[in-house]
Structure 1
């Protein structure tokens, strides 16, 4: 049974704080107007709390990732295929908004305020710490606004420090400008880093306070921001791209901004654990990776149960006919389209009830479809196919900003003629770096049947006709491989689709057409945006923020229109 109780309480608290609609607003006001409630925490302590809070997000993974964004983006499907309404089922979606206000933004604001209130000499010596905190705040701010649009930001979290309890809603255009200015300022501060600067050290769970690494991460984040900005402001995209390329860049996977934690962080049996749902790889992705000999396939997915040994055992046990033939292909994806999954002609793929005793003496389902590699998302899971299974002891990786992502952006910009870099070279580097990064993540997580990656495999996969760079279809290839790279960052895969319209049913990696009762289903563009309650303390600002978004014709039919577009997501 999923452990929802604590997270439901947190979600309920988030709603009460963000909308100021709890029964006792005075408790909230007292908490937020009394700076002593931080109990003399140091910047280091509160920064560590922020690092952890960003990924203490099992409720987000249970809903937003496993049941919404990853099925939408055809990364995987439920055990028996998607429901006819899965493209409209957005209940509990958008956990990030609550996390931003109650877990991340408030903690990072505390870090900034603690530093700002320190004696002048100490404050001066903590400038680099403040710059790093601002980069992390910007990272999560962009993550939140890109699906929510206008948000309280410049005046948010300030009440306990003498600011307002009714923060204005910054427009998304204003937010993008603020983010870019803050990142540039943070880069300048960190590059001027002097010996007297106090480091976060081990309190920084990402880079251990390494200022040079944070400069690279800030540049990577500027480039992500610029790519989101491009349709609204092509000149700004080009300006930022050229500045970033001339600056400090990621040069290897060791530069990646990532959160790595033990198997205890994402414990088996809870919301992190995808194994009870028996998620299967999608046909579009599995087939493409299999046909292009992509070694990441074994990190993403498990082979199905139809090995020669298992088939022989199942035959001997009378589970399957003696005439059953073993296929060399053990990576088989499930249909993403509800109509295809329900088609009687495809029923054989969804027979999950035939169990046999495997070579380890353990009952195992003779499953035709390839399940996802559960340990990539929850390393503590035991291997159910061995006798006397023990919990996994690997590590979970949460990629945030990666070398490959930056390379794919640079390749795209070059292919579009926005920069003068070598698109082919950058694309090849991006694809190969992605393969090596997933090998690292798989090794850390101790995925089932892990086999180390070889350079020969990497070269062979890149040289496949559906992968190797071809200038005549450069943007298609870049989008297809970017999509694969974002397997562990489904939000980035969804943003890629919204930004480029790719992958689609005609790209090199061809999506399945999604049909429900014969009707083509559209990809949602955003979660539901809650209407402000007229009893909320900040009702006027919330309504003004919503009204400003609604003034854009592309916003759609109203806040409940999940096919309407947020400002950056321009047609």
Structure 2
């Protein structure tokens, strides 16, 4: 059996027609030569980039994000009685499908673009290469944050075995790539690259520079415990280069009837509901975003209810955990608008919370204080969700209420004792920053889980039950194990990758950046 990420022969057999964002339907693989790339002509590069953007989000979204990161980051809790990943089970076929979906459908078009625009071509190609390289980092980041070592630098090499890179090597290549790419784009400021084939910024180079720098800041912060000096250098350089600062710069993936929002599609399957963690915090802070994120319980107008993560099949059958007794997502995330609701890639508010944490560390984040960036992050996050009343934002920012205890079957205590108002106690400031970033980044479960592992915040609830002896109910799942398909088809490389982990191939083994 050939590994799906080796199927790298790419060609476009039709051209973009009709809606400018339907192009992903027209991009297909022709498996005539499975060891090298078919050359893309100039007219095909844009379609290939569009395919890479959409497929990196759509491919196995349910089995990659919804059933793992969204539950581990506690934006949602599972209500499907036959599903076990919310009890820390590393369901092998789900993870295997997520892996093959990424390497088999998302990576091939991206590598086609990079190959067709590699250095040495036209000026326009140089800009395309830089933007595609930034997107490559975005694509790979959550994958290495699941598994640690993954195939990265050698993907597409045409060999019978594809080596895994260490996570340290991958992260250091991330920051190098982002620095090089944003620098290369300086020569193209004010211009447009990819045009309507770019489903995020419609080819706006200036916004890609901001996005690339913000991604560099995110990556730098992630490795701040294990590489503090390098992290500081990279973070400061990213901020100096310009990061996302207004909601007009937010990154969303455009969708259509032919390339729909996979989260909206998945809500039709009734698999998840509001988590108890979100209920405790949003209600405790009297947060007006609660109705933007979640829907009231069926038959009510303003009653919201979450549930704990990790209930058994029997406990999920209890009346109070029924789908109609708990809060679904808000209307914005329902199937009816799957062709119009854009998929969230990155918010400007995240950049402010990253800068707030950097300021706490003594880094130069642009001259402001941690409190300045924290409060600006809250303001920007509120405005993103259409909450623009200055008095409402100010009242929330100065709020002194705290998360609440829940009257549920587990008699769940309050999630934390921190208010929104920025504390004078340095020991509480980081928890406040990460908690507000967790709220602001909804529904990006990848970041929620990664930052929880890195910082321990917000102080999420223990699972009610765990069916995974490597990650008991009081433990944090630190990673997902390597997939079975790799031990079958890429055995030598997969086995060698275990030695690059720094521990056993278990869910309890910490990643390179995940230091106590």
The reply to whether TM is greater than 0.5 is yes
Whole-angstrom CA distance in 2 between matches of 1:422 and 1:517: 41
Pick closer, same or farther for the CA change 1:109–1:393 going to 2, 3 Å: closer
Match of 2:24 in 1: none
Give 4+ residue runs of structure 1 displaced > 6 Å after superposition: 80-85, 532-535
- Partner SS, residue 294 of structure 1: coil
Match of 1:331 in 2: 304
Match of 1:370 among 312, 327, 335: 327
Pick closer, same or farther for the CA change 1:82–1:68 going to 2, 3 Å: farther
Whole-angstrom CA distance in 2 between matches of 1:105 and 1:85: 26
Task: Kindly indicate whether residue 4 of structure 2 is the aligned counterpart of residue 17 of structure 1.
Answer: yes
Match of 1:321 in 2: none
After superposition, the C-alpha distances for 1:303-339 in whole angstroms (9 at most, x for unaligned) are 124548xxxxxxxxxxxxxxxxxxxx61222233538
Shift of 1:85: 7.2
- Which structure's CA Rg is the greater one? 1
Shift of 1:254: 1.2
Task: Kindly indicate whether residue 275 of structure 2 is the aligned counterpart of residue 282 of structure 1.
Answer: yes
Match of 1:220 in 2: 214
Pick closer, same or farther for the CA change 1:170–1:141 going to 2, 3 Å: same
Q: Which runs of 5+ in 2 are unaligned?
A: 8-28, 401-418
- Partner SS, residue 258 of structure 1: strand
Pick closer, same or farther for the CA change 1:39–1:72 going to 2, 3 Å: same
- Partner SS, residue 342 of structure 2: strand
- Partner SS, residue 171 of structure 2: helix
Match of 2:223 in 1: 229
Match of 2:349 in 1: 404
**TM-score, structure 1 normalization:** 0.73
Task: Kindly indicate whether residue 150 of structure 2 is the aligned counterpart of residue 151 of structure 1.
Answer: yes
- Partner SS, residue 31 of structure 1: coil
Whole-angstrom CA distance in 2 between matches of 1:254 and 1:271: 23
Checking the alignment, whether the CA contact within 8 Å between 1:532 and 1:542 is kept in structure 2 is no
After superposition, the C-alpha distances for 1:186-210 in whole angstroms (9 at most, x for unaligned) are 1111012279x87211111111221
Aligned-residue CA RMSD (Å): 3.4
- Partner SS, residue 122 of structure 2: helix
Whole-angstrom CA distance in 2 between matches of 1:567 and 1:131: 27
Match of 1:541 among 483, 490, 493: 493
Checking the alignment, whether the CA contact within 8 Å between 2:144 and 2:167 is kept in structure 1 is yes
After superposition, the C-alpha distances for 1:506-548 in whole angstroms (9 at most, x for unaligned) are xxxxx33433399743221111213676774x54333323222
- Partner SS, residue 399 of structure 1: strand
Whole-angstrom CA distance in 2 between matches of 1:350 and 1:435: 30
Checking the alignment, whether the CA contact within 8 Å between 1:228 and 1:499 is kept in structure 2 is yes
Whole-angstrom CA distance in 1 between matches of 2:192 and 2:281: 49
**TM-score, structure 2 normalization:** 0.80
Checking the alignment, whether the CA contact within 8 Å between 2:164 and 2:494 is kept in structure 1 is yes
Match of 1:106 in 2: 108
Match of 2:384 in 1: 437
Match of 2:15 in 1: none
Match of 2:375 among 416, 428, 451: 428
Whole-angstrom CA distance in 2 between matches of 1:517 and 1:60: 23
Match of 2:61 in 1: 60
Checking the alignment, whether the CA contact within 8 Å between 2:117 and 2:125 is kept in structure 1 is yes
Whole-angstrom CA distance in 2 between matches of 1:85 and 1:146: 17
Match of 1:181 among 161, 170, 176: 176
Match of 2:442 in 1: 487
Whole-angstrom CA distance in 1 between matches of 2:89 and 2:313: 19
Shift of 1:426: 0.5
Whole-angstrom CA distance in 2 between matches of 1:230 and 1:421: 20
**Which one is further off, 222-231 or 84-93?**
84-93
Checking the alignment, whether the CA contact within 8 Å between 2:78 and 2:86 is kept in structure 1 is no
Whole-angstrom CA distance in 1 between matches of 2:68 and 2:288: 26
Shift of 1:99: 3.6
Whole-angstrom CA distance in 2 between matches of 1:85 and 1:207: 35
Match of 2:411 in 1: none
Match of 2:508 in 1: 563
Shift of 1:167: 3.8
Whole-angstrom CA distance in 2 between matches of 1:274 and 1:206: 23
Checking the alignment, whether the CA contact within 8 Å between 2:261 and 2:339 is kept in structure 1 is no
Whole-angstrom CA distance in 2 between matches of 1:82 and 1:417: 48
Shift of 1:277: 1.7
Pick closer, same or farther for the CA change 1:294–1:145 going to 2, 3 Å: same
Q: Which runs of 5+ in 1 are unaligned?
A: 1-12, 21-26, 309-328, 353-366, 382-391, 440-451, 505-510
Shift of 1:82: 9.9
Match of 2:141 in 1: 142
Shift of 1:340: 13
Checking the alignment, whether the CA contact within 8 Å between 1:74 and 1:284 is kept in structure 2 is yes
